[in-house]
Amino acid sequence: MKLLRWGPPDAEKPGLIAADGSIRDLSAEIADLAPARMTPADWDRLHGLDPAALPAVPAGERLGPPVAGVGNIVCIGLNYHDHARETGIPAPPEPIVFNKHTGALTGPAGPVPLPRGSLKMDWEAELAVVIGTRAYAVREQDALAHVAGYCVANDVSERVYQMERGGQWVKGKSCPGFCPLGPWLVTPDEVPDPQALRVWLEVNGRRMQDGTTADMIFPVAFLVSYLSRFMALQPGDVILTGTPAGTGLGHDTFLREGDRIRLGIDGLGEQDQPVTANGAGNGGGH
């Protein structure tokens, strides 16, 4: 299934994509796509619905982040061989783990506002993994059973805040609009191999990133298992799994007002975001 949340910011309703590409309203079946409603049993029940019997959502409705009530955004740095090479940093012996504040969440169409004083705002197309059931000290071979679904994410970063202002990376990762998520949450039955997905991103129509999750240093199942050694992953937690080569940092070029970012992942949909003026509202909603 391809699940989503549609409507005004902070008032989104749940929906799904029907076989004909139309959006169908799920609000009579489930209150929201929230952490307590993303178990395998919940997905089985929704799978049993006839999309044609659900109300159609009018075309052009805004899409919000496809998951409500996200508690944590846990991120992995330098997790693609080609990205490590472009930065000149050796592949890490263990995953580099950091956080984004949930206040960065926005929908797949942004906009992405430049933070005040931004000099090096960057893009990072990433596969996002959404946890569906609590995962603590899980084995790698069992890890994917805890995944509710996958979606596209843009791990927007302000590199000056991240790398030149001291302290933790979270400062450069957490401004409003810095985590566009969606358009859909795609359930695991439609993603049989999360290590076989093409990831791409364009800025102003120029292809900057074009990689594959097969190039990950640490694959998704390992990451879920690894993180669960140090924390109890909760339903609704989002893991951003790293980005392939082609970042602004790798090219020494960064985003400016008026730029347009477009990105996508095979089978998970596309995002399209304008870069807006310093301090503008994110317009995305949680």
CATH label, 68-276, candidates 2.40.10.10, 3.40.50.2000, 3.10.20.30, 3.90.850.10: 3.90.850.10
Residue 172: strand, helix, or coil:
helix
- At residue 153, φ and ψ (nearest 5 deg) are -135, 150
Burial state string for 254-285 with b = 16 or more CB within 10 A and e = fewer than 16:
bbeeebbbbbbbeebbebebbbbeeebebbbb
Question: What is the residue extent of each domain of the chain?
Answer: 68-276
Pairing relation of β-strands 269-276 and 112-113? parallel
pLDDT in tens, 156-195: 999 988 877 877 889 999 999 999 999 999 999 999 999 9
Share of the chain above pLDDT 90, in %: 87
Predicted confidence (pLDDT) at residue 64 exceeds the cutoff of 60: yes
Nearest Cα to Cα of residue 1 among 147, 152, 150, 199? 150
pLDDT at 169: 86
β-pairing verdict for 179-180 and 269-276: unpaired
Contact in structure between 14 and 32 (CB atoms under 8 Å): yes
What's the pLDDT tens digit per position in 122-144?
Answer: 999 999 999 999 999 999 999 99
Phi, psi angle pair for 35, to nearest 5° = -50, -35
- The predicted pLDDT at position 279 comes to 62
